[in-house]
Amino acid sequence: MKIKLENVSMRFGDMYAVRDVSLSIAKGEYLTVLGPSGCGKTTLIKVISGIWRPTEGRVIVDGDDVTDIPLEDRDTGYVFQNIALFPNMTIEDNVGYSPRVRDLPQEEVDRISRDYLELVRMFDRAGMFPSELSGGEQQKVAIARALASGSKMLMLDEPLSALDARVRVELRYEIRRLVKKLGITVLHVTHDQEEAMSVSDRIILMRAGGIKEVGTPMDIYRNPKSIFAAYFIGETNLLECTVVGKTKTGRTMVRLRGGRVVRAAKSNYDTGDPTVISVRPENVYTAKDGIKAEIIGVVFMGTYWKIRTIAETSDYIDYNVSSNDEVPDVGDEVYLVFNKRATKVFARPEEGLEEAIKLE
């Protein structure tokens, strides 16, 4: 199933929850909508799935305009932000609900619910009621029920957010494995950037009702086109600076606050341009002649130490130290350098850096 949105907006009163969104979802694609709380993700998925009619724009599925067709008349499986199983039905009956409503013969209904319960590895719970299952198990059943509807399109609104970290990670793999096996197109809403990175073919990054950026997880992580994307996906250090020239190889030379000049990646900015460089903690190292910084925090992360410093530029600069290496102490002085190629240079936002990364 192929989906196209043309200039879709959803307005409540005079507030736009979604504003002028256009996008295409390819057949069989796993697309996630990622963004901070309140940015319009649920609204967007409800409009795409037909739960709500957009106030403006068109929704096209496989070439047909379905803007005015409600969810129940479409071929879409939907899993809600809060688990919504029928409490008075067994697990098997929950999963078999849609085939039964479609009046399939009983053996067929049984076969379908058995198959999908097996797929999510919940067959041994078939006779139980939802209240007898844990949250994670109920969520698996909700997904099995959506799949059993036979739809070629699955809409998942925060399907994992109610679950604990362990189960969440486990289910990420399960869902992706299932839908890829069945060739289903998925639209998955989440505010969890790690979840989006791990399940998606492509990520749509939303902010304040609009699409900020679209790309594969690796694209967006390595080549964010905006400061907001660099900041929201993964961790990064953002340093205000001014371009002072170019090296012979075309790298941008920038002056950080406090006066120190460092080399950053190639860019199209010219001398005098107000800029911001983004450098992820894994691309910051200690070396002689680096930026002077004082360690103000050390956090053990298991495979590495996360180190926070306050630098001579008055910025916080975070970097990582492998667990196998010697870890510095709070109060130590260190000298930091960047992997130039892995830095990103952005125009300094007119509204200010704080405003550019604000979550709402």
Ligand X SMILES: Nc1ncnc2c1ncn2[C@@H]1O[C@H](COP(=O)(O)OP(=O)(O)OP(=O)(O)O)[C@@H](O)[C@H]1O
Q: From the centroid of its chain, how far is CA 294?
A: 33
Q: How far is the CB of 111 from ligand X (least distance, A)?
A: 36
User: Does the protein bind Mg ion through residue 42 (CB under 5 A)?
Assistant: yes
Q: How far is the CB of 191 from Mg ion (least distance, A)?
A: 8
Q: Which one of residues 5, 8, 29, 43 is an interface residue with ligand X (CB under 6 A)?
A: 43
User: Does the protein bind ligand X through residue 37 (CB under 6 A)?
Assistant: yes
User: Does the protein bind ligand X through residue 41 (CB under 6 A)?
Assistant: yes
Angle between helices 106-119 and 135-148 (to 10 degrees): 130
| Beta carbons within 8 Å of 176's beta carbon, 6+ residues apart | 30, 199
Q: How far is the CB of 18 from ligand X (least distance, A)?
A: 7
Determine the 3-state secondary structure of 119 from DSSP: helix
From CA 52, how far away is CA 43, in angstroms rounded? 8
Cβ nearer to ligand X, comparing 348 with 358: 358
Q: How far is the CB of 258 from ligand X (least distance, A)?
A: 38
Cβ nearer to ligand X, comparing 13 with 63: 13
From CA 130, how far away is CA 199, in angstroms rounded? 26
Report in angstroms the alpha-carbon separations of 129 from 82, 90, 112, 126, 160. Answer: 17, 5, 18, 8, 20
**335, β-bridge pairs:** 292
Considering CB distances under 5 to 8 angstroms, the limit depending on partner class, which of Mg ion, ligand X, none binds residue 191? ligand X
User: Does the protein bind ligand X through residue 17 (CB under 6 A)?
Assistant: yes
Element (H, E) at 169: helix 165-182
Window of 40-48, 85-93, 194-202, 342-350 that interacts with ligand X by CB under 6 A = 40-48
Q: How far is the CB of 360 from Mg ion (least distance, A)?
A: 14
From CA 11, how far away is CA 56, in angstroms rounded? 8
User: Does the protein bind ligand X through residue 191 (CB under 6 A)?
Assistant: yes
Q: Which one of residues 25, 30, 40, 133 is an interface residue with ligand X (CB under 6 A)?
A: 40
User: Does the protein bind ligand X through residue 38 (CB under 6 A)?
Assistant: yes
Q: Which one of residues 25, 31, 39, 307 is an interface residue with ligand X (CB under 6 A)?
A: 39
From CA 138, how far away is CA 129, in angstroms rounded? 9
Residue pair 65/58 in contact (Cβ under 8 Å)? The answer is yes
Residues 218-237 that bind Mg ion (CB under 5 A): none
Q: From the centroid of its chain, how far is CA 127?
A: 36
Q: How far is the CB of 171 from ligand X (least distance, A)?
A: 18
How is residue 87 written in tokens? 């409490």
Q: How far is the CB of 287 from ligand X (least distance, A)?
A: 41
Considering CB distances under 5 to 8 angstroms, the limit depending on partner class, which of ligand X, Mg ion, none binds residue 32? none
Considering CB distances under 5 to 8 angstroms, the limit depending on partner class, which of Mg ion, ligand X, none binds residue 37? ligand X
Cβ nearer to ligand X, comparing 35 with 224: 35
Cβ nearer to Mg ion, comparing 42 with 309: 42
| Beta carbons within 8 Å of 135's beta carbon, 6+ residues apart | 83, 162, 163, 167
Q: How far is the CB of 210 from Mg ion (least distance, A)?
A: 16
**Residue 317, φ and ψ in degrees, nearest 5:** -125, 120
Binding residues for Mg ion (CB under 5 A): 42
Binding residues for ligand X (CB under 6 A): 12, 17, 35, 37-43, 191
